[in-house]
Structure 1
Amino acid sequence: MVDPLAEVVGLLQPSAPMAKTVSAAGSWRVQRSETGKPFYNVVLQGSCLLAANGMAPVRLDAGDFVLIPAAYDFTVSSHDMDGTDGYDPLHVTMVEGGVRLGDPDAEPDVRMLVGHFTFGSPDAALLVSLLPALIHVGGEQRLSTIVQLLVEETRAKRPAREVILARLLEVLLIEALRSTAGTGASPGLLRGLSDGRLAAAIRRMHEEPTRAWTVLELAREASLSRSAFFDRFSRAMGVAPMEYLLSWRMALAKNLLRRRQAGIAEIAERVGYSSASTFSVAFTRFVGLPPTHYARTAGEAA
Structure 2
Amino acid sequence: MLLDEVLSRMTVEVEPFSICEMAPRGWLDMPKSPAASLHYVLSGTGALHLGPSRSHPLKTGDLVLVPAGSSHSIGAEDGRFVSFASCQPARLGLSHHRDGTADEGLGLMVLCASISLGLSGAGTVIDLLREPVIEAAGAEHLIRLILDELAAPGPGSRAQIKALLLYLIIASLRRSVLRQDPGTGWLVALSDRNLWPALAEVIARPGADHSVESLAERVGMSRARFAARFKDTFATSPMHLVRDLRLQHAARLLLEGHHGVARVAELVGFSSRSHFTQAFEARYGISPGRYGRTGGTEESPSGDTADGE
TM-score when normalising by structure 1: 0.55
- Counterpart of 2:220 (choices 214, 232, 238) is 214
Match of 2:144 in 1: 151
Matched, 1:238 2:224: no
Aligned pairs (5 A) from 1:104-253: 104-118=102-116, 127-138=125-136, 143-145=137-139, 147-154=140-147, 157-158=151-152, 160=154, 162-163=157-158, 164-182=160-178, 183-186=180-183, 188-192=185-189, 199=192, 201-202=194-195, 213-215=219-221, 231=228, 233-238=230-235
Larger CA Rg, structure 1 vs 2: 1
Structure 1, unmatched stretches of 5+, are 217-225, 252-283, 290-302
Letter in 2 for 1:151: R
- Counterpart of 1:79 (choices 77, 86, 109) is 77
Distance 1:154 1:144 in 2: 16
- Structure-2 change in CA distance of 1:239 and 1:159 (3 Å): closer
> How far is the alpha carbon of 1:106 from its aligned partner?
4.0
> How far is the alpha carbon of 1:55 from its aligned partner?
6.3
> How far is the alpha carbon of 1:78 from its aligned partner?
1.4
Q: CA RMSD in A?
A: 4.9
Deviations 1:15-67 (A, max 9, x none): 11311222223211121322332111101212111113566111111111111
Aligned pairs (5 A) from 1:37-116: 37-52=35-50, 56-82=54-80, 89-90=83-84, 98-116=96-114
SS in 2 for 1:235: helix
SS in 1 for 2:54: coil
Match of 1:24 in 2: 22
Structure 2, unmatched stretches of 5+, are 89-93, 201-214, 247-265, 272-309
Deviations 1:207-231 (A, max 9, x none): 9x9x964337xxxxxxxxx96x864
Preserved contact between residue 28 and residue 84 of structure 2 (Cα < 8 Å) = yes
Match of 1:293 in 2: none
Preserved contact between residue 146 and residue 164 of structure 2 (Cα < 8 Å) = no
More off after superposition, 169-178 vs 63-72 = 169-178
> How far is the alpha carbon of 1:126 from its aligned partner?
7.8
- Structure-2 change in CA distance of 1:230 and 1:159 (3 Å): closer
SS in 1 for 2:25: coil
Letter in 2 for 1:150: I
> How far is the alpha carbon of 1:76 from its aligned partner?
0.8
> How far is the alpha carbon of 1:105 from its aligned partner?
3.6
SS in 2 for 1:57: strand
Counting aligned pairs with the same residue, the percent is 17
- Structure-2 change in CA distance of 1:55 and 1:136 (3 Å): farther
> How far is the alpha carbon of 1:204 from its aligned partner?
8.8
Letter in 1 for 2:142: L
